[in-house]
Structure 1
Amino acid sequence: MTTDTVADTLFVRLTEVWADLEERLDTVPVLARLAAGTVTLDDYRRLLFNLRQQVVDGSPWISRAASNFDTDHLDLRSAAIRHAEEEHRDHLMLERDYVAIGGSLDELRAGRKNLGSEALSGYMFHYADRPNPVGLLGAMFVIEGLGAKRAAGWAARFQDVLGLADNQVHFMRYHQEADGAHTGDLEAILTSGIVDDAAADDIVRCAEVVARLYVLQLEELDR
C-alpha cells in the first residue's frame, strides 16, 4: 500500500472512531444536561474537578513517550517534547477556573481520579512505556480533537446556561485554539510518510481505547 493510501485509509478509520465518540458523548448525563439547559453550577464544578486529575498527567505521559522514541523516530520525539512543554502548565488554567466558580484549590489538588480517569491515565502511561509508541498519535487525535472541536462549544453553553464569565471558562476556551494547532501538527505527522500499515493499526486501536475511556471518565461524574 502506498504512503498516500495508508494515510487516506487511516483518516477514514479515525473519522469512524470520532463518529462513534460523538454518539457516546451525547449520552453522557452531564453533557445531556448541558445540551438541555438543565446543567447546574455543581455539574460544572464537578466536571472541572474530575478533568483536573487527568489533565495534570498529560504532560508527564507525553514526556515519557518522548523518552521512548529511538533515533529512527527523532521527528516524533521532537514533536512530543514540544507538546509536553506546551501543556505542562495547562492544569493551572483549570485550577483558576475552578477557584473562580467558588471551588477550593486545596480540595481540588487533594482530589483523586475517578474510575474512568484512573483507567485513562493508567493506559496512557502504560502505552507511553512501549518502545516507539507511535500508536499514541491515536490518543492525541481523540484528546486534541475534543479540545479543538468541542471544548469551546461546551464553554459557550455553560456560559449561556449558568451566566459564567470568561475567566470562569478560560481552560475550555483556550483549548479550541491551542488544540486546533495541535491537530494541524498531528495531521502533518500522519501524512508525512512515517506511518505504515502496522503503525496505522496501532493508531486506530489506541484512538478507540482512549475514546471509550474518555467517555467513561465523564460518565463517572454522576457516580
Structure 2
Amino acid sequence: MTSKVQVQSVLRRLVTVWADFEGKLNKVDIIDRINRGKISIGEYRDILLNHRQQVVEGSRWIARAASSIEQPYLEQRATFLRHAATEQLDYKMLDEDFVNCGGDIGHISNGQKNIGSEALHAWMFHKASQKNPFDLLGAMFIIEGLGKNFAGNWVKKLEQNLNLKPNQTQFYRYHAEHDDDHIEKLENIMASGILNIAGLADQIVKTAKVTGRLYLLQLEEIGNV
C-alpha cells in the first residue's frame, strides 16, 4: 500500500497543475463566451460535435492502458477496465444533445477530430501503450476534473442563456453529477501501492500538464479539421 503522505503529496502537485489549467481554460474564447452568456446555439452544437470525437476515443485509450498493465497490478487493471466500460457509450448523450439542439445525426456521427483533438488522441494512445501506464492518472485528473468542476456551471449558463432544456444538456449534466466518483477512484488507485514505482509521482504530474495543454488546444481549435 501507499502511504497517505505520498498520495496527498501527489494530489497537492496535481491541484497546482489544475489551477494553472483552470486559469488558461477560462481564457479560451469559446469557454469565455459560455461564461459571459455570449454563446450561440450554433456554437454550442460545434462544441458538442468537436467534443464527441474525443469522447468516442476515451474508453478506447483507457482500455488500451488496461491491456498494458501487467502483474502484479491486476486489480488496478480491472479498475481501468471498469472505468472504460462506464464511458464507452457516453457519446450517445452528445449525439442526442446535438440532435435535440437542431443538429443532424449524420453530421455529428461522421465528424472529424479537429487538429487539437488529433494531438490529444495521439498523446493518450502513446501513453496508454507504455508498460504499466499509471501516469495516465494525471490525464484522468484533468479530464474528470472538468466534469467535477466545470460541467455543472456550464449547464446552468447554457440553459439560462440559450433557454435549453435538460434533454439538450444531458452529457454535461451527467458528468457534473458523476465525475466526483471518478476522482475518488483515481485517488484509490494511487493509494493501492503504485506510487512505490520509482519516478511515477513525477510522471503523473507531467502527464497531467501535457494533457491539460492538449485539452486547451482541442478547445482552441474547434472547427479546425
Q: TM-score, normalised by structure 1?
A: 0.96
Partner of 1:201: 202
Whether contact under 8 Å (1:138, 1:204) holds in the other structure is yes
Q: Deviations over 1:90-116 (max 9, x none)?
A: 001110000000111101111110111
1:210 maps to a residue whose letter is T
Alpha-carbon distance, 1:72 to partner: 1.0
Alpha-carbon distance, 1:75 to partner: 2.0
Whether contact under 8 Å (2:116, 2:215) holds in the other structure is yes
Alpha-carbon distance, 1:156 to partner: 1.2
Q: Output the CA distance in 1 between the equivalents of 2:223 and 2:97.
A: 21
Q: TM-score, normalised by structure 2?
A: 0.95
Whether contact under 8 Å (1:56, 1:91) holds in the other structure is yes
Question: Pairwise mapping of residues 29-108 of structure 1 onto structure 2 (< 5 A)?
Answer: 29-108=29-108
1:218 maps to a residue whose letter is L
Q: Deviations over 1:112-168 (max 9, x none)?
A: 101110000110011110010011111110111111111111111100110000000
Q: Output the CA distance in 2 between the equivalents of 1:20 and 1:189.
A: 24
Partner of 1:221: 222
Alpha-carbon distance, 1:209 to partner: 0.6
Whether contact under 8 Å (1:115, 1:220) holds in the other structure is yes
Alpha-carbon distance, 1:172 to partner: 0.2
Whether contact under 8 Å (2:120, 2:211) holds in the other structure is yes
Q: Output the CA distance in 2 between the equivalents of 1:93 and 1:8.
A: 34
Does 189-198 or 150-159 show the bigger shift?
189-198
Residue 128 (structure 2) pairs with residue 128 (structure 1): yes
Question: Pairwise mapping of residues 123-202 of structure 1 onto structure 2 (< 5 A)?
Answer: 123-196=123-196, 198-202=199-203
Alpha-carbon distance, 1:194 to partner: 2.2
Q: Output the CA distance in 1 between the equivalents of 2:137 and 2:158.
A: 30
Whether contact under 8 Å (1:29, 1:222) holds in the other structure is no
Q: Output the CA distance in 1 between the equivalents of 2:187 and 2:206.
A: 17
Runs of 4+ residues deviating >6 angstroms: none
1:183 maps to a residue whose letter is I
Alpha-carbon distance, 1:191 to partner: 2.6
Distance 1:222 1:56, change over 3 A: closer
2:208 maps to a residue whose letter is A
Alpha-carbon distance, 1:222 to partner: 6.4
Whether contact under 8 Å (1:147, 1:172) holds in the other structure is yes
Whether contact under 8 Å (2:65, 2:128) holds in the other structure is yes
Whether contact under 8 Å (2:50, 2:223) holds in the other structure is no
1:96 maps to a residue whose letter is E
Residue 44 (structure 2) pairs with residue 9 (structure 1): no
- Residue ranges of structure 1 left out of the alignment (5+ in a row): none
Whether contact under 8 Å (1:55, 1:91) holds in the other structure is yes
Whether contact under 8 Å (1:142, 1:207) holds in the other structure is yes
2:185 maps to a residue whose letter is D
Q: Output the CA distance in 1 between the equivalents of 2:89 and 2:36.
A: 33
Q: Output the CA distance in 2 between the equivalents of 1:65 and 1:4.
A: 25
Alpha-carbon distance, 1:8 to partner: 2.1
Does 115-124 or 190-199 show the bigger shift?
190-199
